[in-house]
Amino acid sequence: MKVRKATKKDIGQMLEIDKINNPKYPVARARKELEEMFSSSLIKPTYILLEDNKRILGFGGFASSWTDNMIYNLCWINVHPDFRNRGIGKRIVKTLIREVRGLKKPKAKMITIATKIPAFYKKFGFKKITKKYDGDYVLMGLQLK
């Protein structure tokens, strides 16, 4: 298994995983959000994925906050259901944190995630910022040094 940055060619497989994990989320909106990585936007996400034999097992991304360019938001953490509980999500999140920590301009001070599974992110040092955030989600943050 290897971790690498996503390319335009990967979007189809990424969408398939997202459709399984989030069947109510509009596919057109998901495609637009994933394609934003390759746009000319000033603030665009970076997606990484974990693959095995050219099959994407999971992916996730991060982007600078629109309100504070020293805060980065994790997004789209998805693992194909056939490969859950094998450390793939953990490896993706660890890689995303390492990538954000490595940014020099501007130097990140915090990473945030809105999630329905706060216990998973606590393992990485994330702490709850709010109990309720956008429905069932909890907003969590990881302070960087």
Domain 2-143, CATH among 3.40.630.30, 3.40.50.300, 3.40.640.10, 3.30.499.10:
3.40.630.30
Q: pLDDT tens across 4-37, in order?
A: 999 999 999 999 999 999 999 999 999 999 999 9
Task: Give all strands of the β-sheet with 2-5 in edge-to-edge order.
Answer: 2-5, 46-52, 55-64, 71-79, 110-115, 138-143, 127-128
- The residue extents of the domains of the chain are 2-143
Q: Give pLDDT, residue 97.
A: 96
Q: pLDDT tens across 89-137, in order?
A: 999 999 999 999 998 877 889 999 999 999 999 999 999 998 877 778 9
For residue 108, which amino acid is it? A
Residue 143: CB partners within 8 Å, gap ≥ 6?
A: 109, 110
Q: Give pLDDT, residue 132.
A: 77
3-class SS at 145? coil
This prediction has a pTM of 0.92
Long-range pairs, 141-145, Cβ under 8 A, ≥24: 141/110, 141/111, 141/112, 141/113, 142/97, 142/110, 142/111, 142/112, 143/109, 143/110, 144/100, 144/101, 144/108, 144/109, 144/110, 144/111
